[in-house]
Amino acid sequence: MKFISKIKTNWTLTTKFLVTLIFIVIIELFINLIVWNEVIVYTHENLTSLSPERITLNFSEYIDFKNGVPFVKEDGKNKILKNNAWIQIIDENFKEVYSFNKPKSVPTKYTPIEYTHIYKYDIANSSVFVSEKKYNNKSFAYIVGFPLNRVAKHTLTFNPSALKSFFWNGVILLLCINILAAIIIAYFLFGKRMAKPLQNIISGINNLAKGNYEINYPEKGVYKSVFSNLNNLSKTLKENKTKRDELEKMRNTWISSISHDVKTPLSSIKGYAEIMKDPDYTFSENEIHEYSEIIYNKSSYIQSLVEDLNLTYKLKNKAVPLKKEEVNITSLLQNIIVGILNHPMYSNRNVKFYPENEKIKALIDKKFFKRALSNLIFNAITHNNEDVQVDISIYEKDKIYIIINDNGKGIPKKDLNYIFERYYRGTNTSVSTEGSGLGMAISKQIIDAHGGSIHIESTLGEGTIITIIF
């Protein structure tokens, strides 16, 4: 069925081309006939307007006689020279009695048969025309010769009654020959060289529509650029599908992890709540305080997960209005670092700050920008061993640059492309992986919302460099 469909499509393309070609042949045939007829008419009219024949017929007015001998007046000679022509006057015995500008090869005497053929044949590479001048009951013939590039004569002998029949038969024969030629050209040129590549293109598009991205056509022939674009499109769609599959896998893993992260604190909340509502058990004040704190902390953790998820979708849809103000970024970074090092869990971490200037200001939303920087610095600390060195620097050139550099474990190359994806959760951490997995994604979205950009470079075993530019 597939083979039959391919032949059918191929023949359909060829048939359409063939019909178009035959239609063009018929139109061109009639155009050629019309043009040919117009050329003949134009040539004839043009010849009349240039008037070699008319010049000859009217030239008698330039011929005069002296003592019975004809001669050409001066204005007649000028006309002869102007037309690059020559003239010969002969008497009734076919003998020359006068000539002007005549080539040497022109005879001075003619036999009756030669004179008869003068009008039909050329003389001395000239087309000749004959007319008559009468004087005292005597007739003098004069011959005017024009160069062949000015006027040419060809004798055509035909049967007028048969011409009409032959004309239509000839047109039909010519039309049949042209149609046959069109069929041959359409089959060998279009059918094989053009329709087959078109069939491959159509087949390739159908394969892409069905999700088959393994096609790769040779980039040659008339449709070289089309095949090149088709191969590039196939490659791009394949890469996008691979990325979608990986993101879907990451999303499923992320959902599973989030479900687990939510389920664990919910179990604790539920367990302590069930204990506290037991009427047979009397709780001490310390126990009530302890259980309440656990329930509060677990609830706060769940709330932060939900808020992170809500925030990333708002940032993605640009639904979070930024309240920008002029902020000293140097001071903001310093406060973030101090706050991290004041935390009991990170007080022994090695974090260094290298500001180029104590006052580097920018218009930002202080709350969101602080969160973005905090997420990035925390990632450098929590996803490495405790002895990691984290260097943070800020400087200003044409733009503001913030660089977070650590000498930690580094990130595998296969994970680098997904660091800022919403579902990515790093696994090279020395602490619990609890978290929404949205921290890096939120940081990038906040920086993007401020018109900035973020870039990451990492080498396994050597560390990671994050550069923020805005």
Give the model confidence (pLDDT) of 389-401 as tens digits.
999 999 998 899 9
Q: What is the DSSP letter of 284?
A: P
Q: What is the pLDDT of residue 201?
A: 76
Question: What is the identity of the amino acid at 109?
Answer: K
pLDDT (tens digit per residue) in 229-287: 888 888 888 888 887 887 677 667 666 666 766 777 787 788 878 877 777 777 778 87
What is the spatial order of strands in the sheet that 138-147 belongs to? 96-100, 86-90, 138-147, 126-135
Q: How far apart are CA 280 and CA 361, in angstroms?
A: 62
Q: What is the pLDDT of residue 432?
A: 44
- Confidence band, pLDDT 50/70/90 cuts, at residue 39: low
Q: From residue 428, how far is each of 58, 258, 454 by CA, in Å?
A: 112, 18, 21
The DSSP result for 64-104, as a single string, is: EEETTEEEE-HHHHHHHHHTT-EEEEE-TTSBEEEEES--T
pLDDT (tens digit per residue) in 142-173: 999 999 888 877 777 766 666 666 666 666 77
* 3-state secondary structure (DSSP) of residue 88: strand
As given in the structure block, the two tokens for residue 157 are: 């002998």
Q: What is the pLDDT of residue 109?
A: 92
Q: What is the pLDDT of residue 152?
A: 79
Q: Which of 109-123, 147-161, 191-205, 355-369 has the lowest mean pLDDT?
A: 191-205
Helix, strand, coil percentages (3-state) for the chain, rounded to 5, are: 55, 20, 30
- 144 forms beta bridges with 87, 129
Q: What is the pLDDT of residue 192?
A: 60
Secondary structure, 3-state, 298-340: HHHHHHHHHHHHHHHHHHHCCCCCCCCEEEEHHHHHHHHHHHH
Q: What is the pLDDT of residue 142?
A: 92
Evaluate if residue 44 carries a pLDDT over 90: no
Summarize the confidence of residues 363-385 as an average pLDDT.
89
Evaluate if residue 57 carries a pLDDT over 80: yes
CATH placement of domain 325-469: 3.30.565.10
Evaluate if residue 6 carries a pLDDT over 50: no
As given in the structure block, the two tokens for residue 52 are: 């070699």
- 96 forms beta bridges with 90
Q: What is the pLDDT of residue 121?
A: 76
pLDDT (tens digit per residue) in 66-77: 988 999 999 999
- 262 forms beta bridges with none
Q: Which of 35-39, 98-102, 451-455 has the lowest mean pLDDT?
A: 35-39
Evaluate if residue 342 carries a pLDDT over 50: yes
Evaluate if residue 12 carries a pLDDT over 70: no
Q: Which CATH class is domain 209-320?
A: mainly alpha
As given in the structure block, the two tokens for residue 105 are: 């090869």
* 3-state secondary structure (DSSP) of residue 426: coil
Within 13 A of 118's CA, how many CA atoms are on the CB side? 21
As given in the structure block, the two tokens for residue 426 are: 């790093």
Strands 325-328 and 361-364: antiparallel
Q: What is the pLDDT of residue 245?
A: 80
- The proportion of the chain whose per-residue pLDDT surpasses 90, expressed as a percent, equals 23
Q: Which ranges of 51-111 would DSSP assign to H, the alpha helix?
A: 52-58, 74-82
Evaluate if residue 422 carries a pLDDT over 60: no
Question: What is the identity of the amino acid at 153?
Answer: K
- The crossing angle, in degrees rounded to 10, of helices 160-185 and 2-50 is 140
Q: What is the pLDDT of residue 429?
A: 39
Distance from first CA to last CA of the chain, Å, rounded? Answer: 60
Evaluate if residue 220 carries a pLDDT over 70: yes
Q: Which residues contact 7 (CB under 8 A, 6 or more apart)?
A: none
pLDDT (tens digit per residue) in 297-312: 888 877 877 777 777 7
Q: Which CATH class is domain 52-147?
A: alpha beta
Q: What is the pLDDT of residue 167?
A: 63
Q: Which of 9-18, 85-94, 175-184, 316-325 has the lowest mean pLDDT?
A: 9-18
Task: Report the mean per-residue pLDDT for the chain.
Answer: 79
pLDDT (tens digit per residue) in 13-33: 566 666 666 666 677 667 766
Q: What is the pLDDT of residue 257?
A: 63
* 3-state secondary structure (DSSP) of residue 218: coil
The torsion angles phi and psi of 174, rounded to 5 degrees, stand at -65, -40
Summarize the confidence of residues 438-456 as an average pLDDT.
87
- 146 forms beta bridges with 127
CA nearest neighbour of 428 among 390, 453, 463: 463
